[in-house]
Amino acid sequence: MITGLRTGPAQTWGAVRLVPLLRDAPITGLRLHARLHDEDELSIVELSARESYVAYVPHAFVATWTADGSPAAAYGTQLVDPREPGLPRAIGLRFRRRMARREDRRRLRFLPLHLALEGFLDLQFGGPPIAWQEWTHRAVTQGLSPRVEEAYAGAAITGLDDALRVFEIHPTQCGVVLYLADALTAAFVVPHPDDYRALHPTLLRDLYGELLYQYASLFPAAPDLRQPLDAAVVSTVDELQSQLTRAAAEWAAFHDGTMLTVTSATSRPVYRMGRYTLSRFLPPFDPATDNHIGEVITDEDGTVAYLKTFRLSAAQTRRGHLLSRLAATGWDLDATAAALGTDRRGLVLRLDRAGFGHLLRPDILDACRAAARR
């Protein structure tokens, strides 16, 4: 269970199940609110003098580690080159130096989930560290460029907008765990209940994997997991209260058992702001389990003040697993195949199915494909 939070009673709408996360003692030294982008502005992150990161970013989060932050609505934008002639109107550009940028002494602006996705896309991005003869010249010189992953916006998830609209927000609620067709989808945590009320609608602008989109479409209703009371032992108000307390405790234990934690993940600090640290984390990429990437803000005691996660699909997990094993063996095909319990041909075919076939020499790839067909 995430430190400092406890689960409340779940609410279900169609295939969407929302489990509130409650804080008995809200964090007041760190506040989050959505950044209102001007109508004619587009956010571009400058990675270096020759590189920029461009994405459709309908909103950003601003972390203020004082208590005077004020919430704001989010606003969408579009991607257009303002220098192109014949446009109906020019669109100003706002340049950012980093994914997480300090705006003043006590304010940090960062793009929700883009920190986590950047970490996943950057996984072994440089390619082979040694020019092994099996890899193409492009793989050695350019690495995994370009690297692309796809996701759906929350607004495209069937029933999510209605579920968020009718969801009852608890007075001490500081987060939510989202399930689609009872598949753990995402966790979202903020420091203070006022922050959650302001940022609750932004779940529609978050990113979700294709499998979860399909779950919400193919399974129109989540099963009823109502905890029955033992009516045979209820004859007084005190006995009824005891049964309700037991049911609530069993519900909490059930959801706590399925909650993901960041302790087993590989965490990398991104920015330190006073006693708080913004980090992103990667999972162990175990194909036998669900894997989540995400970003987290913790204090010096390890208490989670902010958390946002993205569940990887099985294909994304396999890609991460392969890249991690390749990196561990220095991208040596034979050593990697031995570590994965297969042979060179099996590894080459797995790389091809994962979308990394273009990194291998065509003659090696063609020979393995031909052998597999025989």
Q: Does the predicted model carry a pTM greater than 0.85?
A: no
- Asked whether residue 336 carries a pLDDT value surpassing 90, the answer given is yes
- Asked whether residue 331 carries a pLDDT value surpassing 80, the answer given is yes
- The reported pLDDT for the residue numbered 89 is 37
| CB half-sphere exposure, 43, CA atoms < 13 A | 25
The one-letter amino acid code at 331 reads W
Query: What's the whole-number mean pLDDT along residues 1-20?
Result: 84
- The reported pLDDT for the residue numbered 125 is 86
Measured CA to CA, the distance from residue 108 to residue 112 in angstroms comes to 12
Could you list the beta-strand ranges (E) of 68-190: 92-96, 100-104, 107-110, 152-153, 173-180, 183-189
pLDDT tens digits for range 149-190: 888 889 899 899 999 999 999 999 999 999 998 888 999 999
pLDDT tens digits for range 198-234: 999 989 988 898 888 888 888 878 766 666 777 777 8
Task: Name the band, by pLDDT with cuts 50, 70 and 90, for residue 271.
Answer: confident
Q: Is 221 in a helix, a strand, or coil? A: coil
Measured CA to CA, the distance from residue 335 to residue 332 in angstroms comes to 5
